[in-house]
Every structure is written in C-alpha cells, then in structure tokens.
C-alpha cells in the first residue's frame, strides 16, 4: 500500500451511505428550523461566491456583472457584500480593474475547468496566469479519471503543483461529488485533496453532473474536522451547484455548524457558489429588516 492509500485508509470518517443519510436527517431535523433567522441570512449573503461562468461571458458582460457588486455596496451600505466574484481566468484582470469593493475577493476557475481534462502543464500555466491577472482564489477540479483509476499519486502531485502555482492565492479543490456518488469516493477524494494542500473543499462545478448534496457536505465536513484534529490546519468548505434557494443555503449552514462548529461560520472558511442565490437572499434579508 502506497502512502496515498495508507493515508486514506487511516481515515475514520464513515463511508456508509445509509449512516450518512441518517446523520444528515438528524442534523436537519434538530437544528434547521432554529437557523432560519435574519442574522443567518445576512451571514449567508456575505459567504456567496457570486459566479458567472457562461460561454457568452465577455469583458463587457463581466464588467457589468462586477458593477452589480459595486452598486450593491453603495445602495445597501448596512448589509454585507458577497465574499468573492468568480469568473473564468481570462477575466481576472477585468474584475480587478472594475471592482471597487476592497473586501470582495476575485476567484477564478482554472485547471481545465470543468472537466480537468487537459495537460498538467496547461493547468499550472492557466493558474499562474490567473494569479498574475489578479485572482485571490483559484477553483480547480480534481482529476476524476485518475482518481477513479486509483492513480492517486498523480492526482495528489497535480494538486500540489497547482497549489504551488497559486503562490499566495488560496486553492479550492472541487470534488465533483455528483460524479463520485458514494460516501466512500467522497471521503477518499476529500482526504487526498486535504493532504495535497487544498485551502477549501468544494462540492461541484454545476456543469454536467448533479450539484451539491447535504450528504456530500456532511462527509466533506467530517473529513475537514478529522484533518483539523490531526494537523491543526483549518480548511474551508464550499457548497456549489444548484444552491439557489435561501432555505437550501440554510441547510448547508446547518451542516457546517453542526459538524465543524461556529469557528467555521466565517466567509474565510464557508462559501456558497451561486449565480441565482444572491437576489433571493437579498430579498429575504430586506423582508426581515
């Protein structure tokens, strides 16, 4: 057994799908209702990675998208703004030029997003170019083909090399949990990403496979907790792919709070990737003002 399989085998996080489902049901039943309150909706607003990842994106459309964030800061100075704007890497410089809100980060997908099917050298170069263009955060997809083939050394080496190309920027590793399907695969992929230098574990791309699920979130958060207990390193969690309703967002908040605790309830460690959630969350917050 190589060191990669040994590290994964060492994990005590459950891989029983039925047990995971029951744990999620219990957490939601006991805690969800009490988390449906104005301060939680405000926090969720501050945790959004506001995302545009369309084939029709252009410098003009991305500039207008960024201006939406600038305008929100002017129109609602008493409300928190989003955590980040997430775009394709060729638009990092556009966002950097237009964005006036200093606390909002610039995130870029990279590494042959969303399939991760290109040369490692291309992934590393793309990441370096995005960082040079102004990206504070990089979102990549784990190479699922190599993962499912059991070539875990290749998977981990690639993530580590991309992490090096990030320099001071933070790396989010997308597991594409809808493709992995089982708690076993999600646990194994989480452990590999964590020990390869991920600053965040992220559920999904929202492209081509089912998006985030509460069960996947639970397993990933348990892995983050175990990793923190072993190493003292705090890694963030990001739910992405189909989280468009404020009440669904509260459910992910509930999972994170229950498994990881209040220390993770900060935009530095909890994110939701969304393009549609922003407007509905703003409406929810304003309704409760």
Q: Mind telling me the catalytic residues?
A: 139, 202, 238
Distance of CA 152 to the CA centre of its chain: 21
- Residue with structure tokens 């039925």? 18
Query: 3-class DSSP state for residue 260?
Result: helix
Helices within the chain (DSSP H only):
3-9, 17-31, 38-46, 59-75, 92-98, 120-133, 144-149, 152-166, 177-180, 183-195, 214-231, 246-260, 277-287
Task: Name residue, tokens 């939701």.
Answer: 272
Tell me how far apart the alpha carbons of residues 213 and 278 are, in angstroms, rounded to a whole number.
19
> Please, what is the end-to-end C-alpha distance for the chain in angstroms?
57
Backbone dihedral angles phi then psi of residue 173, each to the nearest 5 degrees: -105, 120
A 10 A CB-CB count for 130 gives 30
* Residue pair 125/159 in contact by the 8 Å Cβ criterion: no
Cα separation, 84 vs 118, in Å, equals 26
Rounded Cα–Cα distance for residues 44 and 34 (Å): 15
Q: Rounded to an integer, what distance in angstroms lies between the CA atom of residue 33 and that of residue 281?
A: 17
Structure tokens that stand for 266 in this block: 């900060």
* Closest to 223 measured CA to CA, from 250, 262, 251, 196: 196
């Amino acid at each position: 057994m190589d060191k990669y399989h040994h590290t994964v085998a060492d994990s005590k996080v459950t891989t029983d799908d039925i047990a995971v489902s029951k744990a999620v049901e219990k957490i939601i039943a006991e805690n969800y209702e009490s988390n449906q309150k104005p301060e939680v909706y405000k926090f969720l607003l501050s945790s959004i990675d506001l995302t545009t990842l369309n084939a029709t994106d252009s410098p003009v459309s991305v500039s207008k998208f960024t201006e939406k964030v600038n305008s929100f800061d002017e129109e609602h100075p008493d409300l928190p703004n989003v955590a980040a704007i997430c775009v394709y890497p060729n638009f990092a410089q556009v966002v950097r030029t237009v964005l006036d809100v200093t606390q909002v980060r610039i995130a870029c997908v990279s590494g042959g997003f969303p399939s991760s099917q290109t040369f490692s050298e291309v992934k590393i170069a793309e990441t370096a170019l995005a960082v040079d263009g102004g990206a504070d955060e990089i979102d990549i997809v784990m190479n699922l083909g190599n993962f499912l083939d059991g070539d875990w050394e290749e998977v981990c080496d690639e993530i580590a090399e991309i992490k090096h190309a990030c320099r001071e920027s933070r790396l989010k590793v997308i597991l594409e949990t809808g493709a992995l399907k089982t708690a076993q695969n999600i646990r194994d992929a989480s452990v590999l990403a964590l020990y390869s230098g991920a600053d965040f574990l992220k559920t999904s791309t929202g492209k081509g496979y089912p998006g985030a699920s509460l069960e996947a979130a639970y397993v990933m958060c348990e892995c983050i907790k175990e990793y923190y207990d072993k190493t003292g390193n705090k890694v963030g969690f990001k739910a992405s792919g189909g989280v468009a309703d404020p009440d669904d967002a509260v459910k992910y908040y509930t999972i994170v709070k229950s498994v990881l605790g209040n220390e993770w309830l900060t935009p530095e460690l909890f994110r939701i990737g969304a393009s549609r959630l922003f407007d509905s969350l703003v409406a929810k917050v304003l309704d409760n003002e």
